[in-house]
Amino acid sequence: MSIVRGTHTFRFGVDFLRQLARQHPPFNERGSFLYNPSTGVNPFANFLDDFGGANGNVQGQFGVSIFYPNRFRQAYFFQDNWKTTQSLTLNLGLRYEYFGAPENTFASPCLNICVTHSSATPPALSRVA
């Protein structure tokens, strides 16, 4: 919007933006197996036998990897073009922008769990002597 008053030309405005996004990061959703060599046997033979070998590794992921980093952005500005003389114009302005921090919103409820296996006795089942 612009307003002209004498030798001044005032401009001002706003910008609002609601950013909606759907992100799918590089995530190992299906898990992975690592077959290592064992004594006298190469990793491919262990793969065929479905034996991890010495220090084999299995990784599995739980939960949904898709997230929605939505945010609300806003900007405001004010500008004055002031023609002081025929050969000099001052351009003065002020601008404020707020991009906000993305908030992770899920389309459906999500439960993040961590499943571990250990040979140690769980604390709830241990006995105190």
Q: What is the CATH number of domain 1-21+73-118?
A: 2.20.25
**Per-residue model confidence (pLDDT) at position 37:** 80
**Per-residue model confidence (pLDDT) at position 8:** 93
pLDDT digits (tens, 9 = 90+) for 89-110: 999 999 999 987 776 665 554 4
| Residues 6 or more apart whose Cβ sits within 8 Å of residue 63 | 110, 111, 112, 113
pLDDT over threshold 70, residue 127: no
Provide the pLDDT confidence category of residue 41 given band limits of 50, 70 and 90.
confident
Q: In angstroms, rounded to a whole number, what is the distance separating the alpha carbons of residues 12 and 2?
A: 7
- Nearest 5°: phi and psi at 37? -70, 150
pLDDT over threshold 90, residue 5: yes
Are the C-beta atoms of 14 and 1 separated by less than 8 Å? no
Q: Write down the pTM of the prediction.
A: 0.46
pLDDT digits (tens, 9 = 90+) for 57-78: 777 766 677 777 788 889 999 9
In the chain, domain spans: 1-21+73-118, 25-65
Quote the percentage of the chain above a pLDDT of 70: 74
User: For 10-29, what is the mean pLDDT?
Assistant: 84
Instruction: Name which residue leads in pLDDT, 14 or 120.
Output: 14
